[in-house]
Structure 1
Amino acid sequence: MSPACRRTGGFDWFRLPAALLVAAVHTGPLLSLSTEANDLLTDVLARLAVPFFFAVTGYFLLPRRTERGVLARFLKKTALLYGLSTLLYLPVLAYSGYFQPEGLPGRLARDLIFDGTFYHLWYFPAVLLGALLCPLFLGKLGARGAAVLCGVLYGLGLLGDSYYALTAALPPLRAAYDVLFHCFTYTRNGLFFAPLFLLLGGALARREEGRSAGRLGLALLLSLAALTVEGLVIRRYALARFDALYLSLPVCVWFLLRWLRALDLPERPKLRPFTGAFYILHPLCIVLVRGGAKILGLTGLLVENSLMHYAAVVLLAALLSLPFAVLPRRHRSMRHRDGARAWIELDTAALRHNLDQLGSLLPQGCALMAVVKANAYGHGDLEVARICRQAGVEDFAVATAEEGVRLRQSGVRGLILVLGYSGAEAAPLLARFRLTQTVVSGEHARLLDRTGFPIQVHCKVDTGMHRLGVSWADREELQRIYTTRNLRVTGMFTHLAAAERLTPEDQARTREQVRRFYAAAGVVQDMGLSPGALHIQSSYGLLNYGQLPCAYVRAGIALYGVLSAPGEHTALTPRLHPVLSLRARVVQVRTLESGVCAGYDGSFTAEGPSVVAVVGLGYADGYPRSLSCGAGGALVRGRYAPVAGRICMDQLLLDVTGIPGVAPGDVATFIGRDGDRVIAAEEAAQAAGTITNELLSRLGPRLERI
């Protein structure tokens, strides 16, 4: 898997054992064999399951909490699921006498808000309340303050749960908890229990993993051993009122999630709805198994035999949950684009994540400068700049003055550095829109200076790239640039020619460039002048030479969650997430007999009865013609379909033979994910004989960015 890919497949894989552990808690599978073994399984080890689900929710929700509508959609969806689950269990509640008039209003309020309308449904009000509290804590107190507060709440929950015997020994404390227990039955709820695990997941999402799966697995085993010992001590001394909260449980969950992420397993998105349905339905299956066993006279086998009872409940719950896994689940934005021929999707959460990841690598005092030239490498400059600004990025780099003006007119207020050459005719724009122009020689400086416009500039120094820039050793040219009348030199930079490669020769070349650059800055200082803000690194400079003392890092391709080519190795390996997906719609499907040709020059010949899909994407949209004749392809209904024949200006053919049910309106994914399959931009670029930078930046303007 590319380092740019999201590595959370382990979370999907563990959902199944977590769901099985929850079912074990409610059935006691080992009771017929050993009460002690069953207690160890259900009252200690199985307590990992629900905190795991909380933490995974926090992992994906909290980093996106400030995006408009994300939290509201989560709360709405969860509340709807809670309501439907409540309706499902109404007959069981009515049969059990729950709706007796005496005390019903208070009981309903307590259960809806804290305890859950059925015993396992407490998860929903807990996650709803926790999801409201955590963003509030983070916004008011920051990450550290929120962690402290959630830890305190969890500690208070412990005193009402596994360590209640300590509370009961102190009458004032016991009286306080007696009041609390009028509001809810357990401290295992959204106030004391859920926030800490949601916050753990959110914290992990912002953390780069530095340990191997083996070391994390060992740490997990040690923490599980501590949890086991703690559980045995609590049982030995009868400390618990209800045993859901343990001191060592957060540590176990922390190492569990880190270990699962480090395993780098493929994602299994179909397990998500399956395990969600399993969690909701398994208590109903307990009722059905017990009722069916009584009717069939199999109570001894299916109820009194605890292991068989557990197996029957799990099997029935799995069968009832299976439709939720196999029903087609189309991407939300795919449904949204029902009328479009082709479009680009931008994952704003991925971009924010990449900003966090790259920001964590910056040396002290260094700021990230987002490179949004070439329409932000094809992603959309205004869209990317808006997200970067919301995330706290103030400095941007573009290629031309016109690109800089476009940013300034959209509301960007910070530094906008024009990396390319601008002639004298651009001086009025540079001055009016407060753009910082790159000066590449003494003559270029004099040309801009003679316009009379006050312009801020950065001096580009050639240290070995031999492209734009004044020679690092040319003292006189440096002096001419820094002593002009109308130009204000506020920075100096260079570009590393071989920073992406780590061969000994390339590293030596890069180190020599770095030496030359700082020597040039020293020359300016020896003149009694300030060289201004110094910056050397682009994306690969940061990933391979991360600790150079600079004012800025000019992050380009890495900002968008990809590298220039597949399989590239860098000294630092942040978990970057691809931001862009390229999709287009099937507009027609044709069946071809064996030997029939299709496309320009008959470039595709059906070797047998074949089906081809006409897709509304072509080289005028920026999809390279070099990906014709099977070099490129797309995902349709989660399966790979190669390009058939030559790519046209506005459309292409895909060979969808063997993919059942392809029809007009289906979505073809050329870059991005569809189901379990992914086409990475690096792979598509390599197949096209180019690098990711070119492939993405050439995606055309008629592709709407959403």
Structure 2
Amino acid sequence: MRLFSMKTALMSILRKKYNFCKGRAWMEIDLNSLRHNIQVLQNLLPATCELMPAVKGDAYGHGAVRISKELNALGIRAFCVASIIEGVNLRKGGVKGEILILGYTHPSQFFLLKQFRLMQTVVDYEYAQMLNRYGKKVKVHIKIDTGMHRLGERAENITYVAKMFQCHNLIIDGIFTYLCVADSLIKSDEDFTHLQIDRFYRMIEELEKIGFKCSKKHIQSSYGVLNYPELECNYARIGIAMYGVLSSSRDKTKYAVDLKPILSIKARVAAIKELLQGETVGYGLQFTAFKNMTIAIISIGYADGIPRSLSCGVGNVLINGEKAPIIGRICMDQMIIDVSSICNVKQNDIATILGKSGDLEITAGEIAEQAHTITNEILSRLGGRFDKIYCYK
């Protein structure tokens, strides 16, 4: 009896905490779907290739520490981020394993590499010399520019790459490149991807011929896994696919896999108002009622990362299992929707901005297409004001 009472009390506390987080606007992150996506992507790869999830941009808006700790629980022990502060935050959050900084770190922050056991990308030979002059042993991965011409030492500069291996303060733990059109199945883009792959492995062969062993190699991001899973690598830097979506809903891949979106975004109805024919609403008087209407004010806006370009009828939300258009301009903290044709919408009801309501769904791909961008941007720009609710659905 006592055990039953304790269990009941615990469930009551959890319910209160769960409902407390459903205040103004919140995210729901389905960790079972995350686990599913990890398994699906891992199954595409050779057994010797491990996943190195990209949890930069706060894990594409999903919460980097919580997502990474869930991945730790699945046995994943390597991550990549964009900046050293992102790496530090993971360590402070208790994330285990290797953490690779993909971007540039200023010399004034080199001490953080040692303090928090982080690995730094060598962006070119000059940067390798800078890291070496720091005077302390630093674990690094060398970035090779095989054709994207962003970061990395050019693949043809074998002499400079060899000199990096001779920098006595650099512990070279890996070498990698980025395939810049791996998401495309157009013949010319496939040819360019194969050219990049050839350049990368040819450089590794040349380095090994002169006595420099390349330990851990990685070349694939999400689309590299979905289109070129057969590549022999030690890591695959999965990003957007891990979160259950592709960069565009129009994208096709060689391997069709069952990815499940893990994120939903919901917000409360702050008020219900009547708008008379001829009246206007919102900033700039951009919407004029063509008849008497019922409108709902939703407690979410562009400060939460909702694209302002969804204003004035471009975007929609779901409420009570039905679609409601966004009218007028999206504000910093609110948006206005037309609920004239939806029954029984009340103050404090829940609107779904991303995800499912009844039989309908708004996807990240749909929002990205309406906003003329990609899902990567939509997800990673989501603001820090959301409460995040992690659950196993």
* TM tier relative to shorter chain: over 0.9
Q: 1:565 aligns with which of 237, 240, 248?
A: 248
**Corresponding position: 1:432 with 2:115:** yes
Q: Separation in 1 of the partners of 2:153 and 2:244?
A: 32
Question: Equivalent residue for 1:551?
Answer: 234
Given that 1:362 and 1:368 are in contact with CA atoms closer than 8 Å, whether structure 2 keeps it comes out as no
Q: 2:368 aligns with which of 685, 689, 706?
A: 685
How many residues are aligned here? 378
Q: Separation in 1 of the partners of 2:344 and 2:302?
A: 27
Question: Equivalent residue for 1:514?
Answer: 197
Q: CA deviation at 1:453?
A: 2.0
Q: Separation in 1 of the partners of 2:98 and 2:89?
A: 14
Q: 1:581 aligns with which of 264, 267, 270?
A: 264
Question: Equivalent residue for 1:666?
Answer: 349
Q: 1:632 aligns with which of 315, 318, 329?
A: 315
**Corresponding position: 1:412 with 2:92:** no
Q: CA deviation at 1:544?
A: 0.4
Q: Separation in 1 of the partners of 2:89 and 2:28?
A: 22
**Corresponding position: 1:642 with 2:309:** no
Q: Separation in 2 of the partners of 1:483 and 1:617?
A: 54
Where 1:673 maps in the other structure, the secondary structure is strand
Where 2:273 maps in the other structure, the secondary structure is strand
**Corresponding position: 1:535 with 2:218:** yes
Structure 1 pair 358/592, CA: closer, same or farther in 2 (3 Å)?
same
**Corresponding position: 1:591 with 2:274:** yes
Q: Separation in 2 of the partners of 1:336 and 1:385?
A: 25
Q: Separation in 2 of the partners of 1:431 and 1:695?
A: 34
**Corresponding position: 1:376 with 2:59:** yes
**Corresponding position: 1:398 with 2:81:** yes
Q: 1:352 aligns with which of 22, 28, 35?
A: 35
Q: Which has the higher helix share?
A: 1
Question: Equivalent residue for 1:462?
Answer: 145
Q: CA deviation at 1:338?
A: 7.3
Question: Which structure has the bigger radius of gyration?
Answer: 1
Q: CA deviation at 1:650?
A: 0.9
Q: CA deviation at 1:566?
A: 0.9
Q: CA deviation at 1:364?
A: 2.5
Q: 2:136 aligns with which of 444, 450, 453?
A: 453
Question: Equivalent residue for 1:701?
Answer: 384
Q: CA deviation at 1:359?
A: 1.2
Where 2:174 maps in the other structure, the secondary structure is strand
Given that 1:646 and 1:652 are in contact with CA atoms closer than 8 Å, whether structure 2 keeps it comes out as yes
Q: Separation in 2 of the partners of 1:339 and 1:393?
A: 31
Q: Separation in 2 of the partners of 1:344 and 1:660?
A: 25
Question: Equivalent residue for 2:299?
Answer: 616
Q: CA deviation at 1:567?
A: 2.7
- For structure 1, list consecutive stretches of 5 or more residues without a partner in the other structure: 1-71, 77-331
Question: Equivalent residue for 2:72?
Answer: 389
Q: Separation in 2 of the partners of 1:477 and 1:690?
A: 38
Question: Equivalent residue for 1:363?
Answer: 46
**Equivalent AA in structure 2 for residue 672 of structure 1:** G
Q: CA deviation at 1:413?
A: 2.2
Q: Would you identify which runs of 4 or more consecutive aligned residues in structure 1 move more than 4 Å?
A: 332-335
Calculate the TM-score normalised by the size of structure 2. Answer: 0.93
Given that 1:338 and 1:665 are in contact with CA atoms closer than 8 Å, whether structure 2 keeps it comes out as no
Q: CA deviation at 1:336?
A: 2.4
Given that 2:72 and 2:96 are in contact with CA atoms closer than 8 Å, whether structure 1 keeps it comes out as no
Question: Equivalent residue for 1:676?
Answer: 359
Calculate the TM-score normalised by the size of structure 1. Answer: 0.52
**Equivalent AA in structure 2 for residue 399 of structure 1:** A
Q: Separation in 2 of the partners of 1:661 and 1:376?
A: 37
**Equivalent AA in structure 1 for residue 31 of structure 2:** T
Q: Which has the higher strand share?
A: 2
Q: Separation in 1 of the partners of 2:52 and 2:18?
A: 35
Q: Separation in 2 of the partners of 1:490 and 1:335?
A: 43
Q: CA deviation at 1:675?
A: 1.1
Question: Equivalent residue for 1:525?
Answer: 208
Q: Separation in 2 of the partners of 1:555 and 1:336?
A: 33
Q: Separation in 1 of the partners of 2:68 and 2:334?
A: 31
Given that 1:427 and 1:453 are in contact with CA atoms closer than 8 Å, whether structure 2 keeps it comes out as no
Q: CA deviation at 1:480?
A: 2.0
**Equivalent AA in structure 1 for residue 30 of structure 2:** D
Q: CA deviation at 1:337?
A: 5.1
RMSD: 1.7
Q: Deviations over 1:227-256 (max 9, x none)?
A: xxxxxxxxxxxxxxxxxxxxxxxxxxxxxx
| Structure with bigger RCO (C-alpha 8 Å, 6+ apart) | 2
Q: CA deviation at 1:339?
A: 5.4
**Equivalent AA in structure 1 for residue 277 of structure 2:** S
